[in-house]
Amino acid sequence: MEQFSVVGDGLLVRAPAKINLSLLIAGRRPDGFHEIETLMAKVDLYDELLFERGEKDGIELVCQGPHWVPDGEENLVYRACEALFETAGVKTPVRVTLTKNVPAASGLGGGSSDAAAALLGLDRFAGLSTPAEDIGEIACRLGSDIAFFLGGPLAFCTGRGEKIQQIEEKFSFRAILALPDVSVATKSVYENYAHNQVLYDKLSGGINGLIAKNKFDSVAAMCANMLEKSCLELHRELLELKSHLEALGVGRACLSGSGSAMFCMIAIADRDAERYQSMLADSFGCDSLIVNGNKW
């Protein structure tokens, strides 16, 4: 499945979710943010943005789908479109229909991916030919994770997440993605986080060494997410879900981002994946999906 598809006179853009194969916290920065080191991978779960010519001046954003998001200026899609028009110095009537399939506040980067898709999609749909560096600057200004979604499927991200080291080596994987009905506020998880420098020092060298050798499966197997403890302290129901996931015998359950979504890596040829899903639904009432590494 490609990112861009022509639909009648419109342009359909797919915005993939991501998982954090690792997430380390190096400490707090002078600006109050935390310095992170994270290996992020896109998966084949998508929001969709349909760009069509608008019937009235300005940006019209319509949101639909199984997950609610605001449809006004609070939405990153609206803000991304507005910022791109300002940079280009033009503004044409545009209607954007966002179909929200990736749950918000789940650690899957849906809002950031939507913003990146809005920048790329509007630039193509409106024929703006905006330089890549300008699009990147807008992305960094709007949010920490957005720049990642402008590039390929796998990257090592540092700073607040906006410094991208693209990884060209391919990494094919399959995972069970658990989607609990729990919204996690990233800000609260970071505020509750107590830094562990010893743990960071222990994990960082090992993970960086594995990444240098393209051993991404070994990184994922470490299940290293330094925000997990903080998230599970705030949301005890997620601790119970983690136990249920691991009790299925599928392997370690890893928190994505600041949560609430969790994933378990499985063998690509594993025929028990659907059984694991049924067991998770029956025992914990939790929705889940089988996802693969995205190709772009």
Q: Transcribe 69-105 into DSSP letters.
A: ---STTSHHHHHHHHHHHHHT----EEEEEE--SPSS
CATH code assigned at 70: 3.30.230.10
Residues 83 and 180 in one domain: no
* Residue 63 to residue 47: CA distance in whole angstroms: 11
- Mean pLDDT confidence for 1-14: 97
- Mean pLDDT confidence for 115-127: 98
Band (259; pLDDT cuts 50, 70, 90): very high
**Which of 110, 143, 166 is a domain's end point?**
166
**Which of 114, 147, 166 is a domain's end point?**
166
Which residue range forms the structural domain that includes residue 261?
A: 174-292
Annotation marks residue 145 as catalytic: yes
Does residue 268 surpass a pLDDT of 80? Answer: no
- Mean pLDDT confidence for 20-49: 96
List the Cα angle 122/125/130 in 5-degree steps.
Answer: 60
Q: What is the DSSP letter of 239?
A: H
Find the catalytic residue in 47, 114, 123, 145.
Answer: 145
Does residue 169 surpass a pLDDT of 80? Answer: yes
Contacts of 58 (CB under 8 A, 6+ apart): 91, 93
* Residue 277 to residue 266: CA distance in whole angstroms: 12
CATH code assigned at 273: 3.30.70.890
Annotation marks residue 71 as catalytic: no
Residues 161 and 18 in one domain: yes
Residues 22 and 137 in one domain: yes
In this prediction, residue 222 carries a pLDDT of 97
In this prediction, residue 178 carries a pLDDT of 96
Find the catalytic residue in 18, 42, 100, 242.
Answer: 18
Does residue 2 surpass a pLDDT of 80? Answer: yes
In this prediction, residue 112 carries a pLDDT of 98
Does residue 97 surpass a pLDDT of 90? Answer: yes
Residues 38 and 154 in one domain: yes
- Mean pLDDT confidence for 139-164: 96
In this prediction, residue 12 carries a pLDDT of 98
The answer to whether residues 184 and 239 touch, using CB atoms and an 8 Å cutoff, is no
Each residue of 230-241: pLDDT tens digit?
999 999 999 999
Residues 151 and 181 in one domain: no
In this structure, of 50-64, 144-158, 246-260, 267-281, the range with the lowest mean pLDDT score is 267-281
> What's the whole-number average pLDDT of the chain?
95
Residues 127 and 38 in one domain: yes
- Mean pLDDT confidence for 105-132: 97
Band (99; pLDDT cuts 50, 70, 90): very high
Residues 185 and 248 in one domain: yes
Residues 124 and 178 in one domain: no
In this prediction, residue 276 carries a pLDDT of 84
Does residue 269 surpass a pLDDT of 90? Answer: no
Does residue 51 surpass a pLDDT of 80? Answer: yes
In this prediction, residue 179 carries a pLDDT of 96
Number of domains observed in the structure of the chain? 2
Q: For the whole model, what pTM was predicted?
A: 0.96
Q: Are strands 4-7 and 10-28 parallel, antiparallel or unpaired?
A: antiparallel
Band (285; pLDDT cuts 50, 70, 90): confident
**Which of 123, 145, 166 is a domain's end point?**
166
Residues 161 and 183 in one domain: no
Q: Are strands 59-64 and 94-99 parallel, antiparallel or unpaired?
A: parallel
The answer to whether residues 155 and 148 touch, using CB atoms and an 8 Å cutoff, is yes
Name the residue with higher pLDDT: 77 or 275: 77
| Residue whose structure tokens are 């009537």 | 93
Residues 137 and 9 in one domain: yes
Residues 47 and 158 in one domain: yes
Burial class (CB in 10 A: 0-12, 13-18, 19+), 92: middle
Residues 9 and 116 in one domain: yes
The tokens of 35 are what?
């310095």
Does residue 270 surpass a pLDDT of 80? Answer: no
In this prediction, residue 251 carries a pLDDT of 87
